[in-house]
A and B are shown apart, each in its own frame.
Chain A
Amino acid sequence: MENFTPIASTIGGLLIGLAGIAFLALSGRIAGISGIVGGILGAPATDRRWRFAFLAGLLAGGWALAVFHPPALSMEPLPSVTRLVVAGLLVGFGTRLGSGCTSGHGVCGLGRLSRRSLAATATFMTTAIVTVFVTRHVVGG
């Protein structure tokens, strides 16, 4: 076990959960990033505004982290462009096809005790773990 950060990770998780609940209580929606952002494409104009505002909030939060706690943002080692592109395409397409990601299914869905989200989460956790195993221990990348 290296770099184990149980306290920071728990605090971060609490904030994530609270933000998700606040969004549900105030807006009545699931805080699923892939759905909120991906849904911009097919949404009518009135529906796009809050989605863009959500996206702006994520970017602003990132900016705050970059300014006040730069070590929070990283990418080391830097993967190849090919790997980044393939991963991005799979994440983009897969989250839309599967109706959610770690925030939508993993946090909100499990929090709601949704069967669909349980199945989705178990599935993406499995393929993610298998992918890491293959790339790290079989192929050696």
Chain B
Amino acid sequence: MRAMLVSFFTAFVFALGLGIAGMTRPEKVVAFLDVFGSWDPSLAFVMGSAVLVYSVAYRRVLRRTHPVMERMFHLPQRIDIDRRLLVGAAVFGTGWGLVGFCPGPALVGLASGIPGVLVFVAAMLAGMGLFHLWGKAAADRA
């Protein structure tokens, strides 16, 4: 129950941050990515300040033996840069550039009721589902 409340409230604040930052306005994201056009550098400030906060606080947090509400940290362990990572990132970036939406802002944007957001999210979930099925098919063949 506590885990659910923590998840809910951190996600709520995360969503507010995305909204205040302008990430939930895909045209603003595209303007940031339009480096060779009418460039809006605002989102550099979003990622810059977010990463700054995270990097400064991260080491302090990891000094604990375990998180406040759990028995252990669940952190990614891999350090290798493999093809999956790069291809996946390349594919994601392409989709991101097409509309200006990445997963978080798109989900937050559902509340707007704009049909385009719903279409994007439905397709995004379908894409995630396809990945899941592909993984299962590959595992079955192994």
Q: A61-B13, A87-B95 are in contact. Are A107 and B54 (CB under 8 A)?
A: yes
CB distance from A119 to the nearest CB of B (A): 5
The chain A residue with its CB closest to the CB of B123 is A88
Contact of B22 among A9, A21, A24, A30 (CB under 8 A): A9
A45 in the interface, Cβ–Cβ < 8 Å? Answer: no
Interface contact A4-B42, CB-CB below 8 Å: yes
CB distance from B134 to the nearest CB of A (A): 8
Q: How many residues of B contact A (CB 8 A)?
A: 114
Of A69, A74, A81, A85, which is in contact with the most chain B CB atoms at under 10 Å from its CB?
A74
Once the chains are docked, how many angstroms separate the CA of A57 from the CA of B26? 20
Interface contact A33-B70, CB-CB below 8 Å: no
Chain A 120-140 interface 0/1 with B at a Cβ cutoff of 8 Å (1 = within)? 110111111111110111000
Q: A33-B103, A73-B24, A128-B97 are in contact. Are A94 and B116 (CB under 8 A)?
A: no
Once the chains are docked, how many angstroms separate the CA of A9 from the CA of B42? 6
Q: Within 8 Å CB of B119, what residues of A?
A: 81, 84-85, 88
Interface contact B12-A57, CB-CB below 8 Å: yes
Q: Which residues from 44 to 64 on chain A have a C-beta closer than 8 Å to any C-beta of chain B?
A: 49-51, 53-64
Interface contact B14-A66, CB-CB below 8 Å: no
Chain A 56-92 interface 0/1 with B at a Cβ cutoff of 8 Å (1 = within)? 1111111111100110111111110101111111111
Of A13, A73, A77, which is in contact with the most chain B CB atoms at under 10 Å from its CB?
A13
Q: How many residues of A contact B (CB 8 A)?
A: 112
Interface contact B124-A89, CB-CB below 8 Å: yes
Q: A53-B5, A88-B119, A133-B35 are in contact. Are A16 and B46 (CB under 8 A)?
A: yes
Interface contact A21-B76, CB-CB below 8 Å: no
Once the chains are docked, how many angstroms separate the CA of A61 from the CA of B69? 23
Once the chains are docked, how many angstroms separate the CA of A51 from the CA of B6? 11
Contact of A3 among B16, B18, B31 (CB under 8 A): B31
CB distance from A26 to the nearest CB of B (A): 5
CB distance from B52 to the nearest CB of A (A): 7
Q: A6-B42, A57-B7, A137-B37 are in contact. Are A12 and B19 (CB under 8 A)?
A: yes
Show 21 residue pairs from A and B whose CB-CB distance is below 8 angstroms, ordered by the A residue.
A12-B18, A15-B13, A24-B67, A25-B61, A25-B67, A28-B75, A37-B103, A51-B7, A53-B4, A73-B25, A74-B26, A74-B112, A75-B117, A79-B98, A87-B101, A88-B99, A88-B126, A107-B47, A116-B78, A132-B33, A133-B34
